[in-house]
Amino acid sequence: MSSTTSPLRPALSPSRGRGLRTWGGQLGATLLVSLSLLLVIGCSTASAASRIKDIVDFEGIRENMLVGYGLVVGLDGTGDTLRKAPFTQQSLTAMLERLGVNTRSAILDTDNVAAVMVTASLPPFARQGSRVDVSVSTLGDAKSLLGGTLLVTPMLGADGEVYAVSQGAVAVAGFKAKGQGSAITKGVPTSGRIANGGIVEREVGFELSALRHMRLALKNPDFTTARRLATAINTFSGEQTALATDPTTVSLTVPDRFRDDVVGFIGQIEQLRVDPDQRARVVIDETSGVIVMGSEVRVNTVAIAQGNLTIRVTETPQVSQPGPFSQGGTTQVVPRTNIDVNEGDGKKLVVLKPGVSLQDLVDGLNALGIGPRDMISILQAIKAAGALQAEIEVM
């Protein structure tokens, strides 16, 4: 940011201001307008850059996935069918036995219980007693979780250890109503959410303040962006503390003056602004016909013509009636066929000049009067001809 604003500061110093007043009113006003435009351009350029915290992930600062299996009770006849979901019956029997109720010899027939999978994300540096949101989804043939309550469910991490325990009333956004003739469903009633439904019981050990070396991982790997990021950090620290080791990773060494304040160093680093670079890319979703083109897409000299051959056949049969008082006359259906052939008249050959920008490319394709589906084929044809200097990614 200092490299962007420093050239403008001397122009606004008091000495320069007195010099402008000696040149005459109109010339001084013109220069002041020019300086104002430079300030606007400088501010817009700086605001176009992204903060480091938005384009990288800091090593060690990450979430952890948790999962658990539990029971939701209190449903209004929309739970699992125990005969079709044996795991629900086994879980219900085991839970009742832990509470001192023996149901081994009994035949359970309830539809107010549903087996569910419970998922959550453990935030970085979550401490014991802090709460997290949990998501609940049915596992059997339950129709809805509306009005249900999740019983105490341990939440396991990837290492099999319990890191949180969840319980609470399930909030469901959808519903389902069914009659003999019709049914209506809104949203997904078989999944819900419990706000602050999980309590952290175990912490993930990670001492950030003890780190002397860390790595920054770019969310969109790029050589130029990694180099700019390392340069911005080194300019801020005044020494060689950052080094781009590959398109994704920037190795960072904590300066000596921040040895006792690693959090403060990271807090200042993540606020630095970097202008991310990107490869020229055209992303195509053939299923929905969506086309997204990056700003760096360029096209060499190429001529494009597009035309469709459309044949429309229309059948309009007519009824032929016999004349009045005719002998032996019968009514006949006379076929009438109309064939219309459209060879795409009016389509022109468009020539795109070398090195045209994204806007020129879009304007040239729109001039042909084509839709997204045909535009996909044209872009692929331009790429096959070697005129499209961009990568095409088909989703």
Q: What is the CA radius of gyration of the chain?
A: 35
Helix (H) or strand (E) holding 106: none
Neighbours of 130 (CB within 10 A): 15
* pLDDT for 349: 54
* pLDDT for 117: 96
Neighbours of 58 (CB within 10 A): 19
**How many residues make up the chain in this entry?**
395
Q: How does pLDDT run across 216-267, given as a tens digit for each residue?
A: 999 999 999 999 999 999 999 999 999 999 999 999 999 988 988 999 999 9
Q: How does pLDDT run across 196-219, given as a tens digit for each residue?
A: 999 999 998 888 888 889 999 999
Q: Which two tokens stand for residue 236?
A: 């801020």
Q: Which of 202, 201, 207, 177 is nearest to 189 (CA)?
A: 177
CA angle 339, 341, 345 (to 5 degrees): 155
d(CA 115, CA 81): 10
CB 254 within 8 A of CB 58: no
Give residue limits of the domains in the chain. 2-48, 54-58+209-274, 64-200, 281-318+332-394
* pLDDT for 22: 37
User: Which residues, 6 or more positions from 257, have their beta carbon under 8 angstroms from its beta carbon?
Assistant: none
d(CA 114, CA 247): 48
d(CA 69, CA 91): 10
- DSSP at 171: B
* pLDDT for 225: 93
CB 5 within 8 A of CB 42: yes
Does this model's pTM top 0.85? My answer is no
* pLDDT for 5: 38
d(CA 294, CA 288): 19
d(CA 165, CA 7): 57
* pLDDT for 334: 74
d(CA 137, CA 257): 50
Distance of CA 175 to the CA centre of its chain: 27
User: Which residues, 6 or more positions from 165, have their beta carbon under 8 angstroms from its beta carbon?
Assistant: 152, 153, 154, 155, 198, 199, 201
* pLDDT for 7: 38
* pLDDT for 308: 56
Q: Which two tokens stand for residue 378?
A: 């044209």
Q: Which residues of the chain have a pLDDT value below 70?
A: 1-48, 180, 304-315, 325-329, 337-365, 367-370
d(CA 369, CA 357): 19
- DSSP at 210: G
- DSSP at 356: B
Q: How does pLDDT run across 146-174, given as a tens digit for each residue?
A: 999 999 999 999 999 999 999 999 999 87
φ, ψ at 135 (rounded to 5°): -110, 140
d(CA 305, CA 123): 55
* Dihedral over alpha carbons 242, 244, 245, 247 (to 10 degrees): 150
Distances (CA, A) of 249 to 76, 232, 268: 53, 15, 19
* Dihedral over alpha carbons 175, 180, 181, 186 (to 10 degrees): 0
Q: Which two tokens stand for residue 305?
A: 């013509």
* pLDDT for 52: 93
